[in-house]
């Protein structure tokens, strides 16, 4: 019998991707009553495709719970460059969680932490029981790769995934999962709006980490570095340590989920009724096919 596996879904990553994939040309999918559903429709398509591709026995969906977290307490500008959510996406934040509940999947999130932290925490808890697949579009999650944890990065197009285990991460990025945190400390993250060390790019940072293994190793060997690189790091030591802290997924968030709570047992009749209400008629066949092979 195949080992159980849990799919940990980065809800916001799927929802935003679903919104922009289904708002081209300014057209927004809505119900006859005028409720926007384009993001939820895209979310469901991505979720069903991932379930078909990876055939999980368990599924959990994790969410951000507001913009204020322990990271914004440490660095006020963290994610400060993010634009406001489009007006027709806002009502879909609650709607998508109702849909996830309708699938019988737990929604997990906690104020003060990001979805990443919830996923990191649950990956540690659930990997004791089964193989873990993290579904996301966010390369920050690569730091979670472990013997029992694979990170699935969604790429453009349906059923197009890059699945990272430790070997693939080393082969493609030349780094271990732990080194990936140090990489972000060095180069920062423009999408999360923290700077890293000014003037240090990914190529230089990767070379340093391959040679000296960690930020500590680099700092112990500053005298051996080219003068320009040494000067840049020395000028930004405080920011370097702060950015590594911001980049680190917190795997001790106050969340929990047992295997029994996230067993993937979709109720076909319930889902069909929910899809009828949302006018997702074209997706009913997809669910029927998925349940037949699950």
Helix (H) or strand (E) holding 135: strand 131-136
Surface-to-core class of residue 254, CB atoms within 10 Å of its CB (0-12 exposed, 13-18 middle, 19+ buried): exposed
State how far the Cα of 198 lies from the Cα of 240, in Å rounded to an integer: 10
Q: Which of 173, 194, 171, 169 is nearest to 248 (CA)?
A: 194
The CA distances from residue 153 to 140, 264, 285, in Å, are: 10, 21, 26
Residues 176 and 144: beta-carbon distance below 8 Å? no
The mean pLDDT value of the chain amounts to: 94
Residue 140: band (very low, low, confident or very high) from pLDDT cuts 50, 70, 90: very high
Q: Which of 163, 157, 241, 139 is nearest to 195 (CA)?
A: 241
Residues 21 and 29: beta-carbon distance below 8 Å? no
Residues 58 and 7: beta-carbon distance below 8 Å? yes
Which domains are seen in the chain, by residue range?
5-170+249-289 (3.40.50.1010), 173-247 (1.10.150.20)
**What average pLDDT does the segment 38-61 reach?**
96
How would you list the strands of the sheet with 58-62, edge to edge?
A: 107-108, 58-62, 5-10, 131-136, 149-154, 161-164
Residue 129 has pLDDT above 90, yes or no: yes
Furthest C-alpha separation in the chain: 68
Exposure b/e, 42-58, CB count within 10 A at least 16 = b: bbbbbbbbbbebbebbb
Q: What tokens appear for 115 in the block?
A: 């979805």
* Segment 247-278, tens digit of pLDDT: 999 999 999 999 999 999 999 999 999 999 99
Q: What is the pLDDT of residue 255?
A: 98
* Segment 181-199, tens digit of pLDDT: 999 999 999 999 999 999 9
Q: What is the pLDDT of residue 150?
A: 98
* Segment 77-113, tens digit of pLDDT: 999 888 889 999 999 999 999 999 999 999 999 999 9
**What average pLDDT does the segment 228-256 reach?**
97
Residue 294 has pLDDT above 70, yes or no: no
* Collapsed DSSP state (helix, strand, coil) of residue 9: strand
Backbone angles phi, psi at 133, to 5 degrees: -120, 120
CA dihedral of residues 121, 122, 125, 127 (deg, nearest 10): -120
For 57, residues 6+ apart whose C-beta sits below 8 A from its C-beta are 4, 5, 6, 130, 263, 264
């Amino acid at each position: 019998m195949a080992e159980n596996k849990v799919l940990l879904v980065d809800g916001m990553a799927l929802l935003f991707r679903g919104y922009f994939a289904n708002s081209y040309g300014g057209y927004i999918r809505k119900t006859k009553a005028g409720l926007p559903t384009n993001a939820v429709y895209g979310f469901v398509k991505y979720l069903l495709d991932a379930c078909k591709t990876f055939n999980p026995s368990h599924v959990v969906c994790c969410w951000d719970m507001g913009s204020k977290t322990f990271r914004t307490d440490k660095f006020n500008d963290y994610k400060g460059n993010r634009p406001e959510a489009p007006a027709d996406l806002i009502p879909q934040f609650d709607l998508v969680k109702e849909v996830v509940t309708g699938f019988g999947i737990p929604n997990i999130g906690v104020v003060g932490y990001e979805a990443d932290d919830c996923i990191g925490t649950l990956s540690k808890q659930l990997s004791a029981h089964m193989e873990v697949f993290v579904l996301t579009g966010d390369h920050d999650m690569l730091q979670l790769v472990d013997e029992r944890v694979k990170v699935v990065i969604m790429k453009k197009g349906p059923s197009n995934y890059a699945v990272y285990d430790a070997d693939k991460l080393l082969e493609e990025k030349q780094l271990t999962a732990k080194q990936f945190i140090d990489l972000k400390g060095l180069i920062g993250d423009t999408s999360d709006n923290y700077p890293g060390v000014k003037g240090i790019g990914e190529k230089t940072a990767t070379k340093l980490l391959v040679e000296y293994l960690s930020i500590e190793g680099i700092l112990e060997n500053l005298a051996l570095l080219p003068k320009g690189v040494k000067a840049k790091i020395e000028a930004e030591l405080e920011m370097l340590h702060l950015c590594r802290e911001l980049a680190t997924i917190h795997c001790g968030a106050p969340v929990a989920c047992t295997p029994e709570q996230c067993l993937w047992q979709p109720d076909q009749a319930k889902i069909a009724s929910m899809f009828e209400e949302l006018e997702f008629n074209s997706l009913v066949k997809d669910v029927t096919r998925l349940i037949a092979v699950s």
